[in-house]
Chains A and B, each alone.
Chain A
């Protein structure tokens, strides 16, 4: 696992940019009027080049696939990629998206298995930033308030029963994290929901650090940390220890200090303090989110994502927007303001205040994993915009988790995680008909039992 940790972090920090630039390069190539076959060849070369660079063992896909679909929602940030494509086609090869565009623009090369959904919608696989159903239920190690030594990828059960339902709801990526029973629950894993070996389903491990700032980890016995001041104290002490440790190693690697001793307990702080992975902060209520912003972001300069951000915390929207901090709201998406007696949609309030990386979560199994899209539906009902909601299920959480180079949108070079549904998934009358993960069909209601 150490090996995969190294491999994956280096993939993220060293070659991640290459992938993006190459994907964009493909894109510009697509628009200079090349013959479709030439385009495909170039794309193929670029994609294989990327896979070589990143050192990932791609599943040797059986045969390439072309999905013809009535409408594509790309969720792409690339200005040259349209938001919607009518009568589109997506070419998949070696588990990655090879090309995407209108059927009139892209010829399907020979040897591609053609999947047709003339009435269907295609969108990127959904991403949930907060899930506890990726494996066994070993969520909280309840003795010490801070547990930076703990990790949860040993508990993963790939494609387990609850993840099969998740796929039926369109979820292809989850952030599987420890619980909020202690202030620092341990390191979580970013993983695909589909079948495969442990190494095949893991996107990144360690994926995030789980911190619970308040509102659950309060100690019930005679230790520091029953109140907010105490919890902030133990968190700060632990982070200081980690920061010192990583600084010693940074100094050593820059030739400024002798080699420090390996402290296994603090090892995973390295990618954290080097800003290669974020902290998923269980934080809710105004005061607590304020403490999160001040301590974790301003003081320790960590990448963070506000996970929950509920109750009246949206009043801090401007502060969060100023710092580009992602907010992944829920699963309680509304706030009944007692002073004015008004029902307020929390996501819409964050949007109003300028928060850009904005999404929803389930905290599965608090809300069943497959219900993620309903969280967005509720937020739209309470004032969020339709288009932002689709992005808030896909590319925005991918950005919050820092894996937008692999998932979250339909762009050439990204993982072929594609959800086909009967219409916009924000409308709860629509449902998922087929799901591809890494270019393989993992759920198809024509073949499998419909689960959701």
Chain B
């Protein structure tokens, strides 16, 4: 029994205290006795391995060492590696990637209420690793998340890319880009006319104000070189040294995001995109990358009211726009998109390799290949089938959710 399996054993059972202590002591002993145990290999086998690199192995096997994939194929000689065989009916599929998530960030932590321009604030130290939302993300097969600040501020702050496994607390990229909101959301709390001295009496109170705050700050960042730290962050976006996520849902907001991109030389990743199907030509012409959030299926109202188009993803794909899907349950998002018109293989890419590429972490995650992180999910059927269950989730080579068939 390897160290990793022991740790898994300790974590997955409901051991009595004594058992737990014994296991831990045994693990420590093993570590001391065998210094090369960190190099121990594990060979994961399944009826099928979908790599999302263009190949599928049936049967398939993934050899893992130090959390990285060292070999992948239909039959691998694992040597002395510990073998974990999920069985002929199982499918190994890359861990899913959510490029825009607020899992692990409570309402109080994801928005700064005193100011609209907080580009140097970061969610990195506000993550609740033991939150239910992160555990749920993991259970849904999402192994990598880009955590972003909320939508209450115009310049909301910096995103952080993490692995969803609470046991590892693995931060992939602390500073993953700046999030700006070109929606009416930042106006929500600013409209009190009763409290002139309140922090809530400030621009923006509507979209004109949102656009102005964006323009004013980018203009200052470009034209005032000796400016503050927060403007430096914006200047890095202008220079292409920092990713810029712009949240926009309605067609005019999406178009405005691109108008401002032209004005200040920005390359924003557009997030939301509910009405993107209305500006397809523009998005295609500008070669925009998009992170689509869940399609609203009920009636929307208010200043963020959007038309409903169930085949939004299919239309974007036909227009040649590069996009990924985002949401709490990515398999459901992808299945929904396929149901309404998106190509099946493109939908699989849109929850694995495409979000990895958009986030700039495709060298580490997003598909199964030698040298990449051993992040994958084990399914008992086709990935997008409604009845397919996630049997296990492996992050950095370790089973962090589900059943180990060898126990």
| Selected contact of A154 from candidates B204, B205, B207, B303, CB within 8 Å | B207
**A138 engages B208 (CB within 8 Å):** yes
A392 within 8 A of B: no
**B255 engages A155 (CB within 8 Å):** no
Least CB distance from A212 to B in Å reads 15
B203 within 8 A of A: yes
**A157 engages B223 (CB within 8 Å):** no
**A178 engages B208 (CB within 8 Å):** yes
| Selected contact of B204 from candidates A135, A139, A141, CB within 8 Å | A141
B78 within 8 A of A: no
| Selected contact of A223 from candidates B196, B250, B282, CB within 8 Å | B196
Nearest neighbor of B212 in chain A, beta-carbon distance: A149
Residues of A with C-beta under 8 A to B184: 138
Could you tell me the distance between the alpha carbons of A38 and B1 in the complex, rounded to whole angstroms? 97
B27 within 8 A of A: no
Interface string of A252-265 (1 = CB under 8 A from B): 00000000011011
**A198 engages B201 (CB within 8 Å):** no
Could you tell me the distance between the alpha carbons of A223 and B140 in the complex, rounded to whole angstroms? 53
**A136 engages B209 (CB within 8 Å):** no
Contact A265 to B216, CB < 8 A, known contacts A1-B263, A142-B191, A154-B208:
yes
B242 within 8 A of A: no
Nearest neighbor of A185 in chain B, beta-carbon distance: B208
**A154 engages B209 (CB within 8 Å):** no
B193 within 8 A of A: yes
B172 within 8 A of A: no
Interface residues of B in 189-224 (CB under 8 A from A): 190-191, 193-194, 196, 201-209, 211-212, 215-216, 219, 223
**A140 engages B206 (CB within 8 Å):** yes
Least CB distance from B106 to A in Å reads 29
Contact A155 to B207, CB < 8 A, known contacts A142-B191, A223-B196:
yes
**A136 engages B259 (CB within 8 Å):** no
Could you tell me the distance between the alpha carbons of A262 and B212 in the complex, rounded to whole angstroms? 15
Nearest neighbor of B250 in chain A, beta-carbon distance: A136
**B212 engages A135 (CB within 8 Å):** no
Least CB distance from A195 to B in Å reads 12
Nearest neighbor of A265 in chain B, beta-carbon distance: B216
| Selected contact of B215 from candidates A3, A141, A186, A264, CB within 8 Å | A264
Residues of A with C-beta under 8 A to B205: 140-143
B252 within 8 A of A: yes
Least CB distance from A276 to B in Å reads 21
Size of chain A's interface in residues, with CB distance under 8 A? 34
Residues of B with C-beta under 8 A to A27: none
A31 within 8 A of B: no
Interface string of B245-261 (1 = CB under 8 A from A): 00000111101100100
**B209 engages A264 (CB within 8 Å):** no
**A197 engages B282 (CB within 8 Å):** yes
A342 within 8 A of B: no
| Selected contact of B216 from candidates A2, A149, A156, CB within 8 Å | A149
Nearest neighbor of A1 in chain B, beta-carbon distance: B259
**B193 engages A154 (CB within 8 Å):** no
A150 within 8 A of B: yes
**B203 engages A157 (CB within 8 Å):** no
**Chief secondary structure at chain B's binding surface:** helix
**A143 engages B203 (CB within 8 Å):** yes
Least CB distance from A267 to B in Å reads 9
Interface string of A97-141 (1 = CB under 8 A from B): 000000000000000000000000000000000000001111111
Residues of A with C-beta under 8 A to B208: 138, 141, 147, 150-152, 154-155, 178, 186
Nearest neighbor of B195 in chain A, beta-carbon distance: A221
Chain A CB within 10 Å, residue with most, of B184, B201, B255, B282? B255
A300 within 8 A of B: no
Nearest neighbor of A3 in chain B, beta-carbon distance: B262
Nearest neighbor of A262 in chain B, beta-carbon distance: B223
| Selected contact of B303 from candidates A136, A178, A220, A265, CB within 8 Å | A136
Least CB distance from B92 to A in Å reads 46
Contact A138 to B206, CB < 8 A, known contacts A1-B259, A2-B263:
yes
Residues of B with C-beta under 8 A to A221: 193-194, 196, 201
**A154 engages B196 (CB within 8 Å):** no
Least CB distance from A365 to B in Å reads 15
Residues of B with C-beta under 8 A to A149: 212, 215-216
Contact A150 to B212, CB < 8 A, known contacts A141-B203, A155-B252:
yes
A33 within 8 A of B: no
Residues of A with C-beta under 8 A to B190: 143
Least CB distance from A72 to B in Å reads 37
**A139 engages B206 (CB within 8 Å):** yes
A233 within 8 A of B: no
Residues of A with C-beta under 8 A to B201: 143, 221
A52 within 8 A of B: no
Least CB distance from B277 to A in Å reads 14
Nearest neighbor of B206 in chain A, beta-carbon distance: A138
Residues of B with C-beta under 8 A to A265: 216
Could you tell me the distance between the alpha carbons of A51 and B282 in the complex, rounded to whole angstroms? 24
Residues of B with C-beta under 8 A to A147: 208, 212
Contact A198 to B255, CB < 8 A, known contacts A141-B203, A142-B205:
yes
Residues of A with C-beta under 8 A to B250: 136
Could you tell me the distance between the alpha carbons of A152 and B211 in the complex, rounded to whole angstroms? 9
| Selected contact of B196 from candidates A2, A3, A140, A222, CB within 8 Å | A222
Nearest neighbor of B302 in chain A, beta-carbon distance: A137
**B252 engages A157 (CB within 8 Å):** yes
Least CB distance from A424 to B in Å reads 37
Nearest neighbor of B263 in chain A, beta-carbon distance: A2
**B303 engages A142 (CB within 8 Å):** no
Interface string of B232-275 (1 = CB under 8 A from A): 00000000000000000011110110010011000000000000
Could you tell me the distance between the alpha carbons of A223 and B201 in the complex, rounded to whole angstroms? 13
Residues of A with C-beta under 8 A to B252: 135-136, 154-157
Could you tell me the distance between the alpha carbons of A147 and B212 in the complex, rounded to whole angstroms? 10
Nearest neighbor of A150 in chain B, beta-carbon distance: B208
Chain B CB within 10 Å, residue with most, of A140, A155, A220, A261? A155
**A141 engages B216 (CB within 8 Å):** no
Residues of A with C-beta under 8 A to B196: 221-223
**A136 engages B191 (CB within 8 Å):** no
Contact A136 to B207, CB < 8 A, known contacts A149-B212, A150-B212, A154-B256:
yes
Could you tell me the distance between the alpha carbons of A143 and B207 in the complex, rounded to whole angstroms? 13
Residues of A with C-beta under 8 A to B262: 1, 3
Least CB distance from A225 to B in Å reads 12
Could you tell me the distance between the alpha carbons of A198 and B278 in the complex, rounded to whole angstroms? 12
Nearest neighbor of B216 in chain A, beta-carbon distance: A264
Least CB distance from A265 to B in Å reads 7
Chain A CB within 10 Å, residue with most, of B196, B252, B259, B262? B252
Interface residues of B (CB under 8 A from A): 184, 190-191, 193-194, 196, 201-209, 211-212, 215-216, 219, 223, 250-253, 255-256, 259, 262-263, 281-282, 303
Interface residues of A (CB under 8 A from B): 1-3, 135-144, 147, 149-152, 154-157, 178, 186, 197-198, 220-223, 261-262, 264-265
A sample of 25 inter-chain contacts (CB < 8 A) reads A135-B252, A136-B207, A136-B250, A139-B206, A140-B206, A141-B208, A143-B201, A143-B203, A147-B212, A149-B215, A150-B208, A150-B211, A150-B212, A151-B211, A154-B207, A154-B208, A154-B211, A154-B253, A154-B256, A198-B255, A221-B193, A221-B201, A222-B196, A262-B219, A264-B215
Enumerate the 5 nearest inter-chain pairs by beta-carbon distance, A residue then B residue, closest first: A138-B206, A138-B207, A154-B256, A221-B196, A150-B208
Given A149-B212, A156-B252, A198-B255, 16 other A-B contacts at CB below 8 A?
A1-B259, A1-B262, A138-B208, A141-B208, A143-B202, A143-B209, A144-B203, A149-B215, A150-B212, A151-B211, A152-B208, A154-B207, A154-B256, A155-B208, A221-B194, A264-B219
